[in-house]
Amino acid sequence: MTLTRDDSAMWAWAAGRALAAGDVPASGAEAAAWTVRGWAEIALGCALLGPAAFDGLDAVVQATGVRHGGPAADRLRALRARCGPVPRGYPDAADPGPVDPPGEETREACRRLAAWCATIPDGSGRSRPVRDPLRWGERHRPHATRDVTAVDGSRFAGLAWRTWMRLPGEHGPITVVVEGTHRAPEPRRRVWRGVHDGAHLDLLAACGDEVEFGRGLLAAESYAMAVELVALAETADPVVRRVLKQGVRERIGRIAGHPELGLLPTLAAAYVTGALGLLEGGAGGVPEELAEPLRARWGRVGQVSLTPR
């Protein structure tokens, strides 16, 4: 399957997704930073599609009038510059303002998750690189999809955060994973792609593009992180276990101390409170055909009591 080359389809995709990126469960500075972060992800899709897609993004950005977007604005402007001068009205990377710190429920969930993570033994050893991380990761994903189109994004290395998305294809939307934008050692890259990104792709296949931007992203990150936690509880591979533990600690650290996600406490908390809530039995926008088998695996490894009461 190939991406569309129809200008009107590109414009409609970018404008529609840019509007969806502004539908966030936040206000003030947090809403501005979250919206701009979504626009930066859309800009990667526009760069893959073509100039007409940027025309659609431009229209929404200029009409919305967000002036300051925090660090994500640098990615947004750099990607937009790949297609000509950045239009007036694009937000800059200045601090959009103060945001409220995470609440006590989130802090308690972080403490419980960190304590649980510490009980899992560290390990050392080597593991062989794998040719296809998504196929490797299927063992950790209870509802794995293979309906994914890989797109080369190596020319955008350093300008992308997430690399899973739905883009307009010649015959309708296609689920895309963008390769080559991140550099990391094996097996970290394999675990990121095969477990976390793979879970995002599984959810996209089940839900469509409503879990890509804005408030829908809460469900996406809750599900992907829940898949990581189950994988950590199940795996006997010490190298994979070490990478997953590092990932848990890094997600906890994002909530208060990350240069970009520190401005997005609602989204950052989803990696912890959303994931644990999903495993305990909450829905959170995740279809039951994905959530139920994941909870069953969590229950078999005896971790259901982890979620805060």
Are 102 and 75 a contacting pair, CB within 8 Å? no
Q: Per mean pLDDT, which range of 97-106, 197-206, 246-255, 298-307 is the poorest?
A: 298-307
Task: Scan for tokens 């069953």, then name that residue.
Answer: 296
User: Are 68 and 191 found together in one domain?
Assistant: no
User: Are 61 and 178 found together in one domain?
Assistant: no
Rounded Cα–Cα distance for residues 231 and 220 (Å) = 17
Return the C-alpha torsion angle 260, 148, 133, 155, nearest 10: -60
* Per-residue buried b or exposed e for 133-152, using 16+ beta carbons within 10 Å of the residue's own CB: bbebbbebbbbbbeebeebe
User: Are 137 and 220 found together in one domain?
Assistant: yes
Condensed to tens digits (0 to 9), the pLDDT of residues 17-35 reads 999 999 999 999 999 999 9
Condensed to tens digits (0 to 9), the pLDDT of residues 113-147 reads 999 999 998 877 777 889 999 999 999 999 999 99
Label residue 15 by pLDDT band (50, 70, 90). very high
User: Are 273 and 194 found together in one domain?
Assistant: yes
What is the total count of domains within the chain?
2
User: Are 117 and 203 found together in one domain?
Assistant: yes
User: Are 170 and 298 found together in one domain?
Assistant: yes
Residue 143 lies in a domain: yes
For residues 289-303, average pLDDT: 90
Residue 155 lies in a domain: yes
Residue 17 lies in a domain: yes
Residue 175 lies in a domain: yes
Residue 186 lies in a domain: yes
Give Cα 245 to chain centroid, integer Å: 18
Residue 88 lies in a domain: no
User: Are 30 and 141 found together in one domain?
Assistant: no
Condensed to tens digits (0 to 9), the pLDDT of residues 216-270 reads 999 999 999 999 999 999 999 999 999 999 999 999 999 878 889 999 999 999 9
User: Are 115 and 173 found together in one domain?
Assistant: yes
Range of the domain at 21: 7-81
User: Are 17 and 109 found together in one domain?
Assistant: no
